[in-house]
A and B are shown apart, each in its own frame.
Chain A
Amino acid sequence: MTATAEAPAAGEVASFEVTLRIRRMNPEGTSEHGAGEEYWEEHTIQAHATDRVLDALHKIKWDIDGSLAFRRSCAHGVCGSDAMRINARNRLACKTLLKDLNPAKPIMVEPIKGLPVEKDLIVDMEPFFASYREIMPFLMTSGPTPERERLQTPEERQRFDDTTKCILCAACTTSCPVFWTDGQYFGPQAIVGAHRFIFDSRDEGQWDRLEILNDKAGVWKCRTAFNCTEACPRGIEVTKAISEVKKVLNTGEI
């Protein structure tokens, strides 16, 4: 998804046809499908060069079948609503351009894996947010509150920059083979969330968080499959963050 010199200029309309194969499930059933039954459905639509998978889903929902259910809000990759499995890889639908996928084959769109499917592309996000809450994702300090800001050098600020970018989209956690099979593991996002505070020079709650991550549901479950790093739409080096946390646990030094 990087720059291509031949990309048509804005406003130029290069139209092409694409087919989406969408994994569907209606918990209440439809005239053709039973309640909870999972099935594939295909739609072919006209797309433009700047269209994203989200635009294609909207075309289907708005002009063909309003019952198609998915979450979305910002439409430019910053709110974390629309992580889904697109051609067997976790991505944000609003950040995946159709022209960057092979248009010769149907584009496969499925809900993210490892969380209960509620309807079509919507999954239950509660277990994911529960893991995030578990690692105490808030600044912990002791002593009196200072008058002015707490000081932090640009280098100290840079130390945890990468993990501050997380938008809680769950693409990483739901791409993790350990998370799929192990009912206990917090998943990579919770470690990213903890990393953001562990390496913040202002925070004093590192050891509380590290203790949680040292638990059986924590970092040691990670088998460095790297799926999470590949999946992260914010370009966070998730595996690196996890290994930095492991290293602190091994050495006792931050």
Chain B
Amino acid sequence: MHKPVSIDELQDIIRSAEKVRACGAGTKPALSRDATLTTTGLTGILEYEPSEYTFTALAGTPLSEIRDALAKNGQLFPFDPPFVEAGATIGGTTASGLSGPGRFRYGGIRDFILGVKMVTGEGRVVFGGGKVVKNAAGFDIPKLVTGSLGRMGVLVELTFKVFPIPETWTTIRADFSDIGQASAAMIRLAMSQQELQCLDLEPPGRVWLRIGGLSGAVAVRTERVRTLLQNGDSSVNVETFSDEDDVKLWSYAREFRWVSDNQSLMKMPISPTQVTLVEKLIGQSDFESTRRYSVGGNVLWLAVPRTVTGEAIDQLCQQLGRPALALTGSWSDPQRGARHGHVFAGRLLSVFDPGSRFLMSPTA
């Protein structure tokens, strides 16, 4: 595996190889299995100006390193990236387009990326976007490469917008008797003016919420959320967690500690109003699974036994009219279901990667 330490070296590697697949730390094995090079030699925060709310880092920089630097200045990643403890890099996270539960409040990784420097399939260095929080010049290449899974090029340098850390956090957990009630409560809270940081649903009936803000307001806000959750039904059990407990609960969710070693993890974007349907369809399928709905029901994290086939996932995708992305496990193609806009993507790819260097042949 190549491990370039400079952009020149990276260009040479790309130009002289027939096929190139970049990876970061390899925390999403379904996406990095065929990797021929790692960006972990390109590491470090290049610029960080807290008062600008922006930082620029090399692609191989571990998220944890950036998180710590941000935390020292009272700031965080607003998109709450997953796999931080596992060692994920900022480049790998961008290329896989992943955000965590905290993206509910302000937006996902695609909403906070500002600039990118990358090397294309022809070994060209391309710069897109900018280093300031607002910029309407040029094409939005930074957004395009978010989620591009290494197909557009090897990301080298990334600039992001960040936000201040709320003074305090509180987690609220509510238990409902079934998925219908839980999903209704989730939608009620998502439509409310409570400005939640996270809103997750753990089937069959558990809703998780997180509030962030000034300590002076947390108690009142928690009470209001409790009222909304119970919606007149005091039999709904509501618990709150703070300090270390709060931190642990979200780290457990974000790091996917709830997924066991013999399961594969998939991400499936859905709509909040589909949650009960998803539960029904999965109930009818012939595999067991563990699930967590996140971002107010806009994403399903689905953990299935390693033995489940791509066809079974494709079928679910088709029933729901949604795509899916495998993060762990072994798949001929980690991207399942229909691909929208492939004509548009294909034309852009003819410029980013005319020789299809970044296209790996599917393996069984």
The answer to whether A and B come from one shared complex is no
Binding site for B on A (CB under 8 A): none
